[in-house]
Amino acid sequence: MQNLLSWTLEAIREENSDFSWMEEYRFEWTPLVNNFLEHILNGQSVFILTDTPRKWFGDYIQSKINDISKNRPFLPFYQLSKLFSSLEEMQNIQDLQLLEDMLDISFPNGYVIWYIGRDDSPYTKLVFKKDNSFLWIVDSQIQNAFHLNGNDSLFDIKLLQLFKLFDGSLSEALYGNIEIES
């Protein structure tokens, strides 16, 4: 069984597109992915949440994560904004607490939030309250988050590359081909 860091390096190098930029970031990436995969393998649901400019990417993740051609178990990934249509209207802490209470009741095995976006989005009030959130933060440096430069001319391509890398690691973890450390 291969460790996640070694597998990640091999996956980056095997990618036909220009993905070499990710080699230097793999040490930041791997612990975050390891933690996220651990929650998924322990049966927790995943809520995908993006800021408005990255809404298309949330739709993309949702359409690809349980693609039947992957020949793997379907996983509980949901777009939080589609599950709870009033999410954009929530402004205060009390509303967020009520939402968290509903999610805790509805998902007794627990849940993790996968957030892609800027740290000044209204959604970050909810995201930052969860210690186990999987964060892809744009244009800011936040602890326990993967940082992305929103001004990068290849930004959208990098998002797609990162999803492909994550999705591959998810498949490998599900089939027991990589070691996920607790």
The tens digit of pLDDT for each residue in 102-115 reads 999 999 999 999 99
Identify the pLDDT of residue 153: 94
Give the Cα separation of 37 and 31 in Å (integer): 10
Cα distances from 58 to residues 46, 55, 97, 108, in angstroms, run: 12, 5, 23, 24
Using only C-alpha atoms, what is the Rg of the chain? Answer: 16
Cα distances from 67 to residues 3, 62, 63, 75, 171, in angstroms, run: 25, 9, 7, 10, 12
Give the Cα separation of 3 and 80 in Å (integer): 31
Q: How confident is the model at residue 92 (pLDDT cuts 50, 70, 90)?
A: confident
Q: Answer whether residue 155 shows pLDDT above 90.
A: yes
Q: Crossing angle for the helix pair 4-14 and 26-41, nearest 10 degrees?
A: 120
Q: Answer whether residue 126 shows pLDDT above 90.
A: no
Give the Cα separation of 101 and 137 in Å (integer): 25
Q: How confident is the model at residue 90 (pLDDT cuts 50, 70, 90)?
A: confident
Q: Answer whether residue 91 shows pLDDT above 90.
A: no
Strands (E) located in 68-164: 77-79, 111-118, 134-138, 146-148
Higher pLDDT, 106 or 182: 106
Rounded mean pLDDT, 150-171: 96
CB 48 within 8 A of CB 61: yes
Domains and CATH numbers, the chain: 2-175 (3.40.50.11670)
φ, ψ of residue 147 to 5 degrees: the values are -100, 135
Quick check: pTM over 0.85?
yes
